[in-house]
Structure 1
Amino acid sequence: MVNKQPIGIFDSGIGGLTVFRSIANLLPQYDYVYLGDNARAPYGNRSFNTIHQYTWECVQELFAMGCPLVVLACNTASAKALRTIQQQDLKTVDPTKRVLGVIRPTAEVIGNYTQTKHIGVLGTKGTVQSGSYLLEIANFFPDVTVHQQSCPLWVPLIENAEHDKPGSDYFVKKYLDQLLEQSADIDTILLACTHYPLLQKKIEAYLPAHIRVVAQGDIVAQSLVNYLQRHPEMESKLSKTGEKRFFTTSDDTTDFDNLATSFFTEPVKSSFLHLK
């Protein structure tokens, strides 16, 4: 990618591809590099320091590939690593580079989806324990009550291609029941993990018809459009040949490619990235 400056998209595994798909559909002209840290997924149960370390290592790899702008298409990384990266790490490496997350753009609009002012948030243990959605949604929609539920087994099911098997139904229903027990007024459920859209059909099948399920892909994509409009100095740097490249930290790229292709709507051929 000599002389190219693509947009970098990072996730702990394959989940960020749900966001990447929406971004590429809305902004097809740009070059992209996707990096999934599949070798160390899932992130949800790891410590703050470990998540920050892993995320920052991968962000720097994307910088080395020429990306001036990186989107953390991972809620856990956005919750536990983004602030430190933005406020401390970038200053020591290159203050002209930018790293964006998925939590704030989602919090800015999610309150518009609810009529009852009660929202359910499904996320990893790390995202839920961080309290990031409670804080961010309260900033934009102080009259909305947020009910959270961690779903620690969903990401492993998805990363191991078991999400569409009958065995996953038990765990889908289990966490949904635990969320809905918190309030009968929930009318909107946010999938606060970019892996979870792969389970969306099953999730909706276990919910009352009046509850709306919201995925983040289109929200984050529109937020990126708005960001580039507000920051022409960044937009002008980005190369525009429509190229997409995929990398995974797993040395078995075949599993990544097969699973990624199944829902990215176009063939995915990845390369192994060995983290130093």
Structure 2
Amino acid sequence: MIGVFDSGHGGLTTLAALQRDLSEQTFLYLGDHANAPYGSRTPGEITALTRAALQSLFDRGCTLVIIACNTAAAAALRDLQQGWLAREYPRHRALGVFVPVIEALSGRGWADDNPPDDGADQRIAIFATQATVASGAFPREMAYRARNVDIRQVACPGLVEALEAGQTGQARALARDFAGRLDGFVPDKVFLGCTHYPLVADAFAAGLAPGTPILSQPDCVAASLRDYLTRHPRHGDLPGDTSRETAYPTITYLTTGDPAQVRSAARALTGHDFDFRSL
């Protein structure tokens, strides 16, 4: 069983792609709605909340967790991997969602430690939370892999809050406004650096130059996870394997918030029903 964790509803966009491309797997989704959003929190708070979420999923039988929150992945994952996880859970894995995007943008594998390639003067715009932008994780990791890449980051305060509250009209207006804040910078590619943002991807597109390609993070993550499970099959369910007894259906949804409110907001955002239960 694979855990998928997000600060709130954003990870549902990643989970949908995982379910589509890895239908043989069992998923346990945890939304930390009681503490959302993470984007305005300190690195210490983000790390503590991420660790608590990982612990909850490990306790429920997950040996692999996808941190479907760019803020948590950017601000907390490296320290947790090198510290707490290495000490307490050496056989468990927590993987972040921005690694597959860096691989897609740079054309380089994460473990490739060769000198940076020529990025051919790419211009990339990244829209993300305040904490993700402040972490510098995306430009830092790109610099390790590609030269001559011009990255413009735009922090989007208030957008996650609007989405979490199910205020889709306000969220769409904010997304279009943020997309227009590039101040003459014309990107070759756009990356929505928060898993909530694909919920209003069309609003971002409306504020950009027509035809500007927006990278699909959920698709990148799904392809990367399939490759990972091919190399590390012990962390997933093999097709036709009935040896793993589980009390969970194919997907279970847990929340630290009020399940009724979370279900209502999720339906307002996605048009789908999710049977969220209390953690």
TM-score (norm 2): 0.87
Shift of 1:234: 3.0
Aligned pairs (5 A) from 1:181-260: 181=183, 183-184=185-186, 186-235=187-236, 239=244, 243-250=250-257, 252-260=258-266
1:3 is matched with none
Shift of 1:266: 5.3
1:8 is matched with 3
2:162 corresponds to which of 157, 160, 185 = 157
Does the 8 Å contact 1:18/1:264 carry over to 2?
no
1:177 corresponds to which of 149, 174, 180 = 180
Percent identity over the alignment is 35
Aligned length: 262
Structure 2 unaligned residues grouped into runs of 5+: 108-118
Q: Any idea what the Cα deviations from partners look like across 1:62-110, whole Å, max 9, x if unmatched?
A: 0000000001000000011101111111133221000000111110102
1:131 corresponds to which of 133, 136, 151 = 136
Q: Tell me, what secondary structure is at the counterpart of 1:96?
A: coil
Structure 1 unaligned residues grouped into runs of 5+: 1-5
Q: Tell me, what secondary structure is at the counterpart of 2:104?
A: helix
Change (3 A) 1:169 1:10: closer
Q: Tell me, what secondary structure is at the counterpart of 1:225?
A: helix
Does the 8 Å contact 2:163/2:269 carry over to 1?
no
Change (3 A) 1:60 1:139: same
Structure 1 residue runs of 4+, over 4 Å off?
Answer: 236-242, 261-266
Does the 8 Å contact 2:28/2:254 carry over to 1?
yes
Change (3 A) 1:262 1:96: same
Does the 8 Å contact 2:229/2:235 carry over to 1?
yes
Q: Any idea what the Cα deviations from partners look like across 1:185-242, whole Å, max 9, x if unmatched?
A: x121100000001111111122221311123101001110011112234346895986
Does the 8 Å contact 1:17/1:264 carry over to 2?
no
In 1, Cα distance between the equivalents of 2:3 and 2:271? 19
Shift of 1:169: 4.5
Q: Tell me, what secondary structure is at the counterpart of 1:143?
A: strand
In 1, Cα distance between the equivalents of 2:251 and 2:173? 36
Q: Any idea what the Cα deviations from partners look like across 1:17-42, whole Å, max 9, x if unmatched?
A: 10011001100111110000000000
1:28 is matched with 23
Does the 8 Å contact 1:188/1:211 carry over to 2?
yes
Does the 8 Å contact 1:10/1:73 carry over to 2?
yes
2:110 is matched with none
TM-score (norm 1): 0.88
Does the 8 Å contact 1:30/1:240 carry over to 2?
no
